[in-house]
Structure 1
Amino acid sequence: MPDNNRRGIFRIEIDEDEVVKLIRERILELVNEVETEQVFWDRKDLIRNTKMSWPTILHQFFYDQRFPKYKVGSKWYFPARETRAFLEQWLLEQSG
């Protein structure tokens, strides 16, 4: 005898791989948005983004002529896109 108190049964199936893929795509979109919003980094950004100490940065690549940097008053500023591109190239050179 059917249970008349049950109005309906819903069954939802989720493809976990597809959910993970969609989440990763959205995270990548958000990261790209944040990166394009930031025009330049300061010294603290450079330290945070490279996970290096200031003395290590000075020793490793700061004085490389290709490294984009500008001193405004007493502060150093680094154009975000160009700095990121330089750092990616520099890292590839270190592993070779």
Structure 2
Amino acid sequence: MTRALILVRLKPRQPDGSMIGESRRTCHLVPTPEADAMPQFLTAYCGLRIAPGSGEVLSSPVGMPCEPCLACSPVVVLDLLRHVRPWLGGPVER
């Protein structure tokens, strides 16, 4: 069974006061933590570790999606797109 996903984007101002540029504020796909778990950080499908207070949970996709998250996520629709891409004239994956 696939766990539910949450959408997370880095906040422009990080907890340590540093600023994040818009190019780094992509929309990441993150598996929801187990109900009884309290992780020290969230890990996106791309491998990005999101520390408490450094990200915002989104109710819908905002901005650019993180392409590595899309490629690594278990989203069924994205898997379907990988299979029909050759029919649409895109590059063939090997």
- The TM-score normalised by the length of structure 1 is 0.23
Higher helix content, 1 or 2: 1
Higher strand content, 1 or 2: 2
Higher Rg of the two aligned structures: 1
